[in-house]
């Protein structure tokens, strides 16, 4: 164990205000656990466009009260430096129900107030979209949400928004990161308990805004709902009741907030098995649809009756349904999706003479579009009402899905029927992922090199017609690490390293014209996707 490592560990220990992480670090020192110390100190969690996210624990490579205090102080310095016209900056802080979220939120409020940035603290754990809404509702300079979204139970995170209620993007992220790096000892920071703890009025105003979205159409729809042990239930149940829909059938075992997420391996509606309890309850109550939030309720998943059983729709399918509903209602403005989402949205928008825009992955980019009318990303994120918040919002998305499902039910139809109509008009757009988790990151680098230097000529029987390196920019987008392969028939593949996990992600889309049979088109699409996956995996050596 080096002297430098010991010095850094003891310095951290001397300023850590948390007894639990002090004890963790002291145990490692007493045991002479070099590997454990190096794992916590060899690097620090990097503040970027997603803020901070990582496992709870001691040291700079974990989420803890020291890291959070440094982040709060750095953000405060940034806000003070960028205060407009001498106006004192302010921040609103929210939190979910994960381990230590409330502690991190109070620390943030105290440090902000001590630094001269007036802080508002939401009164209890609430959905992330409530925090995003609160920024503009209160006229704040920024917002902080303590959440790790749908990460495993041992994680927590720190998400930062600026005054437009969208997440930070460059160059703000780098400037805040530099300010964090300049922060001194956290035990010497001024703190103040003069921050303002809000009452229920902000969450009430958010619910009122969501309830104002539906029209005066039918309300009869039987829906099963799971908040996935998160914080969405109370807010959504209240909004559903006020909007006049029947009470949701909430999955009992997943209804209460629980930071341990005991019924799921990963608290993400997209993960295998996560929706099993909701699917079971839907069969028991004869539900028309299933709706779900992730633990901080910024994402929305939808399941549908399919014959005698139920199945979950993909994020792209829900995006197409919501866009179709809003376009039919006459909602004008830019319809936007991340570049890895389906190109179907562009065809839908064009059919209604509305602009379509693609962005880099991450809702932060979608939220920056000034004329945004609707935005989505295939990972279950939707903004159906940018005036409420310029971020994905799983609560307002579910309210809109309920309205659509009730309208279709009154017509004797279902979400699947409407989706098939969309496919008949624009072609069946089938999407899938080839996703590979690795321990050796060089595998990802080699795969990306193959795509850049010697891309395959044919995949799944379809000729590769174009190769675009996203690192050089694509259609005016900022450079990012990724490759786009265009294939015959409107198919395409986008491969990129994950920004949050050791994964290579390949997003596949094929387009099949629908003449007579939707089932025949679906079968053809399934075959093409299977072939593409096999050939792509072989070409990339994964």
Catalytic residues: 149
* Spatial separation of the C-alpha atoms in residues 370 and 348, rounded to whole Å: 20
Structure tokens at 197: 């703890």
What are 415's two structure tokens?
């979400």
Q: How far apart are CA 345 and CA 322, in angstroms?
A: 10
442-448 own/partner pairs: CB under 8 Å, 24+ apart: 443/504, 443/541, 443/542, 444/497, 444/502, 444/503, 444/504, 446/541, 447/495, 447/504, 447/540, 447/541, 447/542, 448/481, 448/483, 448/495, 448/497, 448/504
Could you tell me which of 498, 476, 210, 468 has the C-alpha nearest to residue 365? 476
State how far the Cα of 241 lies from the Cα of 234, in Å rounded to an integer. 11
Burial class (CB in 10 A: 0-12, 13-18, 19+), 437: exposed
| The two structure tokens encoding residue 447 | 């795969």
The residue assigned the tokens 């989402």 is 341
The counts of H helices and E strands in the chain are: 17, 21
90-95 and 118-121 beta bridge pairing: parallel
Query: DSSP H helical segments within 330-393, as ranges?
Result: 344-351, 363-366
Whole-number Å distance between alpha carbons of 402 and 223: 8
Q: Cα–Cα distances in Å, from 230 out to 248, 268, 269, 471, 513?
A: 16, 10, 12, 37, 41
How does DSSP classify residue 309? E
Report CA dihedral (114, 117, 121, 122) to the nearest 10 degrees.
-170
Q: Tokens in use for 16?
A: 């850590």
Phi, psi at 321, each rounded to 5°: -65, -45
Phi, psi of 503, deg, nearest 5: -135, 145
């Amino acid at each position: 164990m080096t002297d430098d490592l010991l010095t850094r560990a003891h310095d951290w220990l001397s300023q850590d205000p948390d007894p639990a992480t002090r004890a963790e670090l002291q145990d490692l020192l007493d045991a002479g656990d070099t590997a454990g110390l190096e794992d916590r100190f060899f690097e620090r969690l990097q503040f970027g466009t997603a803020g901070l996210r990582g496992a709870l624990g001691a040291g700079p490579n974990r989420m803890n009260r020291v890291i959070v205090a440094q982040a709060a102080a750095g953000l405060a310095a940034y806000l003070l430096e960028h205060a407009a016209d001498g106006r004192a900056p302010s921040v609103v802080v929210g939190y979910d129900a994960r381990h230590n979220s409330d502690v991190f939120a109070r620390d943030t409020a105290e440090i902000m107030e001590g630094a001269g940035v007036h802080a508002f603290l939401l009164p209890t754990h609430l959905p992330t979209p409530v925090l995003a809404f609160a920024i503009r509702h209160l006229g704040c300079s920024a917002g902080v949400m303590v959440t790790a979204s749908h990460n495993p139970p041992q994680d927590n995170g720190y998400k930062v928004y600026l005054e437009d209620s969208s997440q930070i993007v460059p160059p703000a992220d780098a400037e805040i990161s530099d300010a964090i790096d300049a922060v001194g000892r956290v035990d010497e920071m001024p703190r103040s308990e003069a921050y303002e703890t809000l009452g229920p009025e902000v969450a009430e105003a958010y619910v009122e805004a969501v309830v104002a979205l539906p029209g005066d159409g039918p309300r009869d729809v039987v829906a099963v709902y799971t908040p996935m042990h998160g914080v969405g239930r109370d807010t959504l149940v209240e909004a559903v009741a006020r909007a006049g829909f029947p009470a949701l059938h909430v999955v009992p075992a997943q209804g209460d907030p629980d930071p341990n997420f005991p019924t799921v391996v990963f608290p993400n509606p997209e993960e295998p098995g996560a929706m099993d309890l909701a699917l079971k309850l839907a069969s028991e109550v004869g539900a028309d649809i299933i709706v779900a939030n992730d633990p901080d309720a910024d994402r929305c998943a939808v399941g549908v009756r399919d014959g005698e059983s139920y199945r979950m729709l993909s994020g792209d399918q829900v995006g197409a349904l919501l866009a179709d509903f809003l376009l039919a209602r006459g909602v004008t403005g830019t319809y936007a999706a991340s570049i890895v989402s389906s190109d179907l949205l562009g065809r839908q928008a064009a059919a209604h003479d509305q602009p379509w825009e693609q962005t880099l992955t991450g809702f932060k980019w979608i939220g920056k579009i000034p004329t945004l009318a609707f935005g989505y990303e295939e990972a279950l994120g939707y903004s159906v009402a940018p005036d409420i918040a310029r971020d994905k919002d799983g609560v307002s998305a579910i309210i809109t899905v309920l309205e659509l499902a009730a309208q279709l039910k009154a017509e004797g139809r279902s979400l699947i029927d409407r989706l098939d109509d969309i496919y008949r008009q624009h072609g069946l757009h089938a999407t899938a992922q080839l996703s590979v988790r690795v321990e050796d990151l060089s595998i990802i680098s080699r795969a990306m090199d193959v795509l850049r230097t010697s891309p395959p000529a044919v995949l799944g029987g379809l000729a590769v017609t174009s190769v675009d390196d996203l690192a050089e920019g694509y259609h005016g987008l900022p450079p990012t690490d990724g490759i786009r392969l265009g294939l015959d028939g409107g198919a395409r593949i986008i491969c990129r390293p994950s920004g949050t996990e050791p994964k290579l992600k390949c997003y596949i889309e094929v387009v099949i014209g629908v003449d007579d049979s939707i089932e025949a088109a679906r079968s053809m699409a399934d075959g093409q996707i299977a072939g593409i996956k096999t050939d792509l995996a072989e070409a990339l050596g994964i």
